[in-house]
Amino acid sequence: MLKVAPVELVRREADLLLQLSYPKPDQSYAESTLSCIEELGVEGVELAKEGRLRILGKGFRNIVVCGLMRRERVAIKVRRQDYGHKDAWREAYMLERANSLGIGPRLLGQKGQVIVMSLVEGTDLTSWLLTYNPSREAAIKVLIEMATQCHRLDEAMIDHGELSDASKHVILSQNHPTIIDFGSASFSTRPKNLTSIINYIYSAQLEMVRQRLGLAKVGFELLRRYKEAFSSEDFLEILTEMGLLGK
């Protein structure tokens, strides 16, 4: 059963409220976080058990909790109290740009140190590839979709910035990959999304997967050409050379 604490209850219960200020339980930061959450239209936050918020993730810069907004379960990303740059406006802006390409969790709102977005429930890409034993067909479909999202970001000159370790920033949900965390994203004339995901696919940890899928390496010259213009022709040639698309 889903346990949700209404915003009003969180405000009254100091134990719950102070969990919104991490790592230091700072009353005024927690109160201002809750106000942002409320103003964005979130009705309540999910509890893992009595007295504990359900934490989806704790990163270097944020914690992510789960909430309810217009009957939809949502992810609420809150800047850590010890992170210097509190305002999340820029991250929300980059996520919105990605959303306009059909990429990333849906941005639902941002205020101050808080971003509300759609909840992506699933498994990280590496665990899915290594331990879920997807069929060859399913794995190839996911890698093509992943590469295509990266190519779209490259074309739009948006560099996600942290895709070389895709296990942390790609969530598989119903065999559909979603790129999360646009906190390090920036506009760049040299976006490295596709090249990062290729490096990830060719990393040592995925050797078994590569063998099982029969993937081949991409030539240096082709990659260099792709990075000059991010053309769709070069992109398709890369997929073909890797063995993701039939020749």
Helix (H) or strand (E) holding 224: helix 220-229
Residue nearest to Mg ion according to CB distances in the complex: 181
**Residue 104 vs 191, nearer CB to ligand ATP:** 104
Four-point Cα dihedral 180, 122, 168, 243, nearest 10: -90
Alpha helices, DSSP H, located in 25-183: 27-39, 89-100, 125-131, 136-155, 166-169
**Cβ-based nearer residue to ligand ATP, 59 or 219:** 59
Residues in the chain: 247
C-beta of 59 vs 214, nearer to ligand ATP: 59
Instruction: Give, as ranges, the residues between 160 and 179 that touch ligand ATP (CB under 6 A).
Output: 168
Between CA 166 and CA 120 the distance in angstroms is: 15
By CB under 6 A, name the one of 57, 136, 231, 236 that touches ligand ATP: 57
Task: Tell me if 78 contacts ligand ATP by CB under 6 A.
Answer: no
| The one among 6, 51, 59, 219 contacting Mg ion by CB under 5 A | 59
* Residue from the set 1, 28, 50, 60 that interacts with ligand ATP by CB under 6 A: 60
Q: Does residue 94 contact residue 185 with C-beta atoms inside 8 Å?
A: yes
Closest CA to 150 of 172, 177, 131: 177
CB under 8 Å to 36, separation ≥6 — which residues?
Answer: 111, 112, 113, 114
The window from 79-87, 143-151, 174-182, 238-246 that contacts Mg ion (CB under 5 A) reads: 174-182
Q: Which of 46, 154, 159, 181 touches Mg ion by CB under 5 A?
A: 181
> Based on CB atoms, which residue is closest to Mg ion, 91 or 181?
181
Alpha-carbon dihedral angle through residues 97, 98, 101, 103, given to the nearest 10 degrees? -160
Member of 181, 195, 201, 206 binding ligand ATP (CB under 6 A): 181
Q: Smallest Cα–Cα separation from 113: which of 170, 53, 39?
A: 39
Tell the smallest beta-carbon distance from residue 38 to Mg ion (Å). Answer: 25
DSSP single-letter state for residue 72: E
Q: Please state, in angstroms and rounded to a whole number, the distance separating the CA atoms of residues 46 and 44.
A: 7
Least separation, in Å, of the C-beta of 164 and ligand ATP? 12
Please state the closest distance from residue 56 (CB atom) to ligand ATP, in A.
Answer: 4
| Residue span 84-123 as binding mask against ligand ATP, x where in contact by CB under 6 A, dash where not | ---------------------x-----------x-xx---
Residues in touch with ligand ATP (CB under 6 A): 56-57, 59-62, 64, 75, 77, 105, 117, 119-120, 168, 180-181, 183
